[in-house]
Structure 1
Amino acid sequence: MNTKIKPTITLQSNTIVQKPVYSVLFTISFTHLLNDMMQSVIPAIYPLMKENFGFSFTQIGMITFTFQLTASLLQPFVGFYTDRRPRPFSLARGMGFTLLGLVALSLASSFYLILLSVSLIGIGSSVFHPESSRVAYLASGGKKGLAQSIFQLGGNAGGAIGPLLAALIVMPYGQFYINWFTLVAILAILVLVKIGKWYQQHLDIRKAGSNIISIKDIPLISKKKKIISLSILLALMFSKFFYMASVTSYFTFFLINKFNVSMQQSQLYLFAFLAAVAAGTLIGGPLGDRFGRKSIIWVSILGVAPFTLLLPYVGLLWTIILAVIIGVVISSAFSAILVYATDIVPGKVGLVAGLFFGLAFGMGGVGSALLGWLADKTSIEYIFKICAFLPLIGILTGFLPNLKFESKKGI
């Protein structure tokens, strides 16, 4: 891993500015892949749990809700704390909770033990995301959209691979085989220890402060507009992740119920959607750097609406094609939204990342629980018809300001 930094460096928004440290960016992206791959095992085995334990859709929704709640509530607090007191090795420690959760999930024999298991995995996620997002920001070299896309690519790729591996390893052989994923957790811990060493060295260099020029980019908007802009971004996140919850938690059931596909086939189709999400994430960040984050948010959120509205009414082939298109388009917004938010509130990377990642998990959890209850009352097809209207919230993007900055310097 390349950790060499020139003696004369520049800080921008409390970040060392140089060329992107790609070795660090791809390594932290790889750990994001491992982290989200393990997390995605949870919804991937829902059909197995429903069959083995006789769970209702409401109980399935509560499992997701419990995981997402523990993964979301702690993130803003972790981010706020580490903005003030960075903890480079907290990444490896947090992954230890994920390891314990996987072992517990493989052995869980009741609904409440499953809830406990997924909450441990959620705690691991709440520690991982704010600090790993800060590592990506520090290694960005000023190319923040690109850095976030590389980082998010790992997470989305892991989210896509997880159901595929679950279909090959867990679904045919049973719940106990979740233990194979504990090897992934151990690998992630070892890699994150190395990331922690780079992070610590980075902090030591910054503290040394020899021959450093400080530059802070201040957005030229009022405090009121900042609050309004952040509120709009949170509303856009709600529409994106509430819709994503309907797909990640219930797309397999939708396909099984409507088209009578097998459980393993449904997992492969879910993999196609999640792979498209990974591709869209990689595209969104660099496009935001080039064409402006607001433009990408417009296209990603509102632009996906025609496809979501059409999806519940077509045959199997077009359902998969539309799901892939939706995955690519809707996922391109996240990096743009996150970087736009950090531009509005400079110097608060951990807090912003914790808030927005936390909201993403929180909305996914609440959405899954509500949609599970609604599916029990109506049908799986009905929730896809209702959720299809969520991207129309993207019209709020028009109220976001076009950001302009001034730079303040000092030694």
Structure 2
Amino acid sequence: MKCALVGSRFFAASVFEALRKEEGIEFTSIVAPAEDDRLAVAARAAGIPVHVLANPRIVPAEAIAEGTDLIIAAHTHARVSDGALARARLGGVGYHPSLLPRHRGIAAVEWTILEGDPVAGGSVYHLADGWDAGAIAAQDWCFVLKGETARELWERALAPMGIALLSKVVRQARDEGAVPSFPQDPRFATKAMMIKRSLVLTEEETPAHASLVVTVMGPDRHGIVNLLADRAQRYNANWASSRMTRLAGEFAGTVHFEVPHEHADALADSLRQLESSGLKVVVASSAGAIVPDALRGFELELVGEDRVGIVSRLTRMLAERGISIENLHTEILRSGVSGKQTFKIGAHLLVPAGLPVDGLRAELGALASEMMVDIALDERRAAGVRQP
């Protein structure tokens, strides 16, 4: 049985090691997004060549060797192209951590918790057009523990279940020459849309203006943004930045206004008056901060599988070293066939000039290994920083 494995990180490497122990299973292709990805490292250690994707969003036909029987997708952030699937005699299968057709989409495990499902499960399904809509090859289920988080559910039950289910399907394909196929019932389909969490913290030199950070929540309706914009214009305020979304019929948004000091209180009062229209409004004000001398600006990027505590541990480590966060943005997203949740951080840091950068990189590298994430640190010239 000749297989191609497309995937990344811990889950894909674990699937690789599990299938290597199966008799009669041979890998014709290992496809990974980067040279240093855990799957790529594990494959090379076993003496198997790795195809590193030039485009991280798609697996081209040439990535799959001729003569392949089955493509296995295990935490891939790239779509397996039709050309690639055509090279495999039995097509391709992937693992989704839900009882499909329930929770099709980006954040299946999180929506299992958010919906209060007492039972969770995993599905191996055929890679095909549609949002996790291919025919089912195998499924299993488990109970959800009271108070369990999405990460805990994944690590305790759903990741091991995925490894076992993929191994089962590959053995069936090896022994029977075919992959089981049972169509999903669309009547029970639900969508697990991307859950995006964002946090923006800024410290900027704004001597001529005060900063108002305004949070607005309430039932979504036409014209909420216009209400904010009209009040900003009335008091000569600049709409500096914003993040807004609509979830389950509710509007939630955060706006940073830069307003002349003499108009700051009046604008804040005007915004709070929007509560009479059914909105909840919170206004925080600041006169702005002066960035001290002798700081070096750096940009930090972190990418890894979503889990509880990443931001907490990273920011604690930075604070202990006297590093200020000028700007921090976090998000959760997923892309590609059977891609799972990926957590990303982009941060602008102000690092004391006396702090050894090589030592900081080494400490961040150790933290990255411990948390099983990737961290990159690059120097930049930060806005508002007076270089010595």
Higher helix fraction: Structure 1 or Structure 2? 1
TM-score normalised to structure 1 length: 0.27
State the TM-score, normalizing by the size of structure 2: 0.28
Larger Rg: 2
Structure having the higher strand fraction is: 2
Q: Bigger relative contact order, structure 1 or 2, given CA contacts below 8 A and separation 6+?
A: 1
